[in-house]
């Protein structure tokens, strides 16, 4: 059975994505960033041909045109934990990873590293520098309640989730940075990408 990667994303629509970033660089630039990051991630994952790639989108049943072909599912209702749990349970028989789309440095190599780490762990997390996480990968042995009352969008999100996995073997891949604000964006764009042309 092939491993599955679920990419979690908001539909790229003006005024609805990267709102904190948009406050600093404008809605159109934020939309270009979101679409470019999502497209680059999907292309990289698809190019490796090691996984089945699925795009989980919100809102449900939205019309979506992307420059890369990929299977898609709706996220459904509920908070972030409910929506992620629903998506992960769809692929409960094999190994599955869920990855956020707002980490420009994340790619197929990270997904491969997560699945490799599942060889000695029940769950693998990709920590974010802000205390959250950008990836979760699961084998067949999982808690009944994956996320409990995790405090999403806070510095406690990863720590809260790890309490659900205290009876499971847990591994980690590299820590990366979300680009949620203009300060995040400037730090990322002015850092190790400074010499490369940006697609937005």
Residue 194 has pLDDT above 60, yes or no: no
pTM: 0.91
- pLDDT tens-digit series, residues 55-114: 999 999 888 888 899 999 999 999 999 999 999 999 878 899 999 998 999 999 999 999
pLDDT at 150: 94
Tell me: the pLDDT tens digits for 144-177?
899 989 999 899 999 999 999 999 999 999 999 9
| Nearest by Cα to 164 from 148, 178, 153 | 148
Which pLDDT does position 91 carry in this prediction? 86
All structural domains of the chain, each given as residue ranges with its CATH number in brackets, are 3-189 (3.90.550.10)
Dist. CA 172–CA 123, nearest whole Å: 8
As a whole number of angstroms, the distance between CA 180 and CA 187 comes to 11
Q: Is the pLDDT of residue 186 over 90?
A: no
pLDDT at 199 over 80: no
Cβ neighbours of residue 93 under 8 Å, at least 6 residues apart?
1, 140
């Amino acid at each position: 059975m092939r491993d599955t990667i679920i990419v979690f994303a908001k539909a790229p629509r003006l005024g609805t994505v990267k709102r904190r970033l948009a406050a600093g660089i404008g809605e159109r630039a934020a939309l270009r960033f979101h679409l470019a990051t999502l497209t680059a991630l999907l292309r990289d994952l698809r190019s490796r041909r090691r996984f089945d790639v699925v795009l989980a989108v919100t809102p449900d049943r939205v019309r979506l045109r992307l420059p890369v072909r990929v299977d898609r599912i709706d996220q459904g209702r509920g908070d972030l934990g409910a929506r992620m749990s629903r998506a992960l349970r769809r692929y409960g028989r094999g190994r599955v990873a869920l990855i956020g789309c707002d980490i420009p440095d994340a790619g197929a190599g990270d997904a491969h590293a997560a699945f490799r780490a599942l060889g000695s762990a029940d769950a693998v997390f990709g920590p974010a520098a802000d205390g959250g996480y950008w990836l979760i990968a699961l084998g067949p042995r999982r808690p009944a309640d994956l996320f409990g009352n995790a405090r999403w969008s806070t510095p406690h999100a990863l720590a809260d989730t790890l309490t659900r996995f205290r009876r499971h073997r847990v591994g980690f891949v590299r820590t990366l940075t979300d680009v949620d604000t203009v300060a995040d964006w400037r730090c990322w764009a002015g850092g190790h990408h400074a010499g490369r042309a940006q697609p937005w």
